[in-house]
Structure 1
């Protein structure tokens, strides 16, 4: 049976190696969207064609971003994010040696990015993305990059999936790390590259999301508040729960390496 590479992961070192191979193959430093179109044109599926740089293990961290972002830049942000996670571990485990932290950052954390693990040659991308609920239910941390993810349908859906416990319990805080970004206003203003994608996502929310569309709106209201605080206060805001949970997760990843 063919392995489901949509559920695979990659380390930071492996991601940089994959990006290096894509650049050497002539794909250039470009947006994720342009990269996806080129991969589709040439029948390239990185998780299959660069399988030796990836891992069949489930991911620890899921990255959400607008497809207008540069895939080379995303790879660099991943390294910065893992530095942040290592700092959270350091607060819990001051005894960890610097070289062990460096090894954790480069090789100890399993990452998921769509341009590696979603096959752009698939005839049915929404079908490919049916793994999102399972992926986001099982990862330990979720980072949202860029300035416009709250304006994009797939990004909003991914944020909602990771934080679905907040949908019906307003006492719970958002656990995603959201970069300073434009706020979410309402679903009618959210965009998708393919119009049918937004229709599909809305159906999934209404049929399967806790609390239906009202629950989804509860999550997005929190996400918008976090994004707005980060833009207006001058400092990036993350909930105390998300910081604590990242430290706990980083400790788990570190112990797994031992």
Structure 2
């Protein structure tokens, strides 16, 4: 897959650093793809006040990061380092055609991405040869948190009734269908009460599924989670999904209780 050509490099490249510490490497083993949608299956703590740096070893189109805020949405500013795959592919093709070995110069595209309100502001620079020094760090999940891949919230069950309650009737059937199709067991669904009229949120942690199965589940639930969908024509744009962390509440009114559907 060729890399989307980057935007024109900004005249001001003062954001580019000589070295980057605590870089999160997104490897191929961390990602899954289905129908142009991607899951980056790498949980991390998202802080809107911190600057993050990612090295994208997996070949995900850069446009999905520069045109959308779906990738780790709580992060407001980050640098994305992407190998120039188009350049490397051209070198490989040239070497194969000529029957020779060509050692390409290390070539990366650096994107500086800032999310301001509903806008995504992007600067970029293309560097071939000597690169900024990069030090990788594996993100960790702090104790007391659970990794969530999808959540669904319901309002009042009565006063007035939230239309989303109509979808709750489908959950057992669609989950059983998914389990049969993929030959898996969907576990780790937790419910948290949020009001006295039935308001609650269901969190899907999907602990025993592979990244590909998790992405398939997310896409299945996204399509299901639409009221009166048979009367609507809905087209979803390609998206990068990421898990997030939720504190696991063990007691009190907001205690998280596991939901199990009869098999």
TM-score normalised over the length of structure 1: 0.26
Compare the two structures and name the one with the higher strand fraction: 2
Q: Normalising by the residue count of structure 2, what TM-score does the alignment of the two structures yield?
A: 0.25
Structure ranking higher in helix proportion = 1
Tell which has more relative contact order, 1 or 2 (C-alpha 8 A, sep 6+): 2
